[in-house]
Structure 1
Amino acid sequence: MRVSIIIPVFNKASYIKETLESALGQTYSNIEIILVNDGSTDGSFEILKAYVEKFPDRVLLIDQENQGVSTATNIGIQAAKGEYIQFLDADDLISPDKIEKQIQLLSGISIKTIATCEWVNFKNDIQGNTNVPYGVFRDFDSGLNLLLRFWNEQEMMQPAAYLTHRSLIDKAGPWDESLTINQDGEFFTRVLVNAEQVLYEAQGKVYYRSPGESNVSQQKSERAMKSLLESYRCYEKEVLKIEDSERVRIALKKVYQKFVYDVYPQYPDLIKKAESLMDSLGVREKTYTGGPKFQQLSKILGFKNALRVKRCLG
């Protein structure tokens, strides 16, 4: 079975060589690497061309004007010929056995099964990586149950940790090119609602490079927060098609509540909209978000009062 590794690239000249070496260094040999240069201006394109010349049978390069990561990813999917899809950011790394171990795990079982593995944080050297204390690093008997774990416990899966059959990718549809943030979370919600099970492979690993300060600040703009809230509305739309239950609505309420927690006190119109979406779910049960201390404060003072105290403390 061929695996297509899709790597969108925009101005990652400092990191792309290391990322490509991790992709080319896979112990699983039946791979193709789809590089989509998204209008880079920092010399990334020249690096990518050199790899195509060196590995013409394994690396395909598509060059386009800058259109954003979702468009670049969609173009990569269209060009991919593999039965399985591996997404990889241009500054992240995967361990040499990642794909091989996951293919072994998925061999002989339903194509509606997704494989995951552990992902860890690093800055410059993967030897100095830090583990993420999440409960997602295990099997789930449905993709929906993994989504509920994300939303109830404020956890996530780094997209490169998945290995997904092409049929699930196609059924989910393209990445949403209108979103400017959380495109991966919204896309994999559509993938996971159709997954029969999620299997955790304990040996492979993804190394997620911690974003720089400029990336973080950009993700806090009003435009980004509006897009983030829209991605959460997409969560609601997709998951309620599969199961409209109290447990799902409680988890969705926590998603909107976490949005308010993260945004407050900025962008009052967006907060008001999130609160309206929370109310429309019709969940009477009190829900709590944030860290343990904040949750305890919320139980005593109420969510909004706890936010005001948090703001004052600063």
Structure 2
Amino acid sequence: MLDTRSKSQDPLVSIIIPVYNKAAFVRETLDSALVQTYLNTEIILVDDGSTDGSFEILQEYYQKHPDKIVLIDQENQGVSAATNKGIQAARGEYIQFLDADDLLSSDKIANQIKLLAGQSESAIASCEWKIFNDTPKQAQSMFYGVFQNFNSGLDLLLRFWNYQEMMQPAGYLTHRSLIEKAGPWDESLTINQDGEFFNRVLLHTDKVVYDSEGKVFYRTPGEFNVSQQKTEKAMTSLLESYRCYEKDVLKFEDSPRVRIALKKVYQKFIYDVFPQYPHLIKATESHIKNLGISQKTYIGGPKFQTLSKFLGFKNALRLKRFFNN
């Protein structure tokens, strides 16, 4: 049986960009999508009830490129609902997610399409992401171990969890079939929606192929960015996203290595919220206990890990917070 990719030399790639009040940045983002050297793309813009003039900018680009851009306007429902709307409208064989203030290098999609050629539909492509503030020319590299090939999506997830690393969602190029297997973005979550979604995608992924040339430029989040929120509501949602990790991954593989990695996910949650929200910390400690892992695990930087080994995790946190205040 021939691989389905052999039927299409230049498969359509749908670039999905949800937009909410990004007037200051969205032009630069759209330009980075439009100058891709890979030509067979469509851009799905979903304005999520912007009030800062973003929609007018999107209309301007749509009028200039009506053959390239699909423009959708909806009342504010959140990034997950906007992204799901974009997926529904997309016609591409591959999906490229892109936040409305981030950028792609011009060769990103072309490189990843080449890497995926001949692979099964269960392969996903990734690339390096760099963080920047004003200009991508000054972007800083993240020295992460995720920037390599992986034999499975689960192996990449375990790298995330064991070393507290991440992949910016725009770094992936994903076949539509993986998206369909994973299901929609969870519209009940208010934070880490992308992490929870790609957790499900990667559990269905047989191979991760890494593009060493293409880049994603991730703009430093502002204080009002949803990913920077540490309200009780946001932290409750973050913990729920981690509970989703546990539920889904243990269906796929229930093993000591997975449970150890999950323990570190929960430890990182406590590390991030301590000493706020004692009820959430208590619930997280209960989740850790239920994992049944007696092995000592350590997270954070080398200094914090050393403190944890001598003082214990909670005492190390208390000391860290004392000196940070």
Q: TM-score, normalised by structure 1?
A: 0.99
Q: In the alignment, does 2:91 pair up with 1:81?
A: yes
- After superposition, the C-alpha distances for 1:153-205 in whole angstroms (9 at most, x for unaligned) are 00000000000000000110000000000000000000000000100011100
Pairs aligned (count): 314
| Among 90, 112, 120, the residue aligned to 2:122 | 112
Aligned CA-pair RMSD: 0.9
- Aligned partner of 1:202 in structure 2 is 212
| Among 126, 133, 142, the residue aligned to 1:123 | 133
- After superposition, the C-alpha distances for 1:195-222 in whole angstroms (9 at most, x for unaligned) are 0010001110000000112327951100
| Among 38, 58, 62, the residue aligned to 1:52 | 62
- Aligned partner of 2:7 in structure 1 is none
CA distance in 2 between counterparts of 1:173 and 1:106 reads 22
CA distance in 2 between counterparts of 1:282 and 1:97 reads 46
Q: In the alignment, does 2:243 pair up with 1:252?
A: no
| Among 241, 261, 265, the residue aligned to 1:231 | 241
Stretches of structure 1 lacking an aligned partner (at least 5 in a row): none
**Correspondence 1:226-305 to 2 at 5 A:** 226-305=236-315
| Among 77, 81, 95, the residue aligned to 2:105 | 95
CA distance in 2 between counterparts of 1:60 and 1:139 reads 33
CA distance in 2 between counterparts of 1:231 and 1:21 reads 33
Change (3 A) 1:222 1:171: same
- After superposition, the C-alpha distances for 1:39-71 in whole angstroms (9 at most, x for unaligned) are 000000011001111100100000000000000
- Aligned partner of 2:148 in structure 1 is 138
Aligned with 1:42: secondary structure?
A: coil
- Aligned partner of 2:74 in structure 1 is 64
- Aligned partner of 2:190 in structure 1 is 180
| Among 11, 15, 18, the residue aligned to 1:8 | 18
Contact 1:7–1:36 (Cα < 8 Å) also in 2: yes
- After superposition, the C-alpha distances for 1:231-255 in whole angstroms (9 at most, x for unaligned) are 0000001111111000000000000
Q: In the alignment, does 2:210 pair up with 1:222?
A: no
- Aligned partner of 2:42 in structure 1 is 32
Contact 1:122–1:130 (Cα < 8 Å) also in 2: yes
- Aligned partner of 2:168 in structure 1 is 158
Contact 1:218–1:224 (Cα < 8 Å) also in 2: no
Which amino acid in 2 is paired with 1:63? D
CA distance in 2 between counterparts of 1:187 and 1:306 reads 32
- Aligned partner of 2:319 in structure 1 is 309
- After superposition, the C-alpha distances for 1:61-115 in whole angstroms (9 at most, x for unaligned) are 0000000000000000000000000000000000000000000000011010000
Which amino acid in 2 is paired with 1:282? G
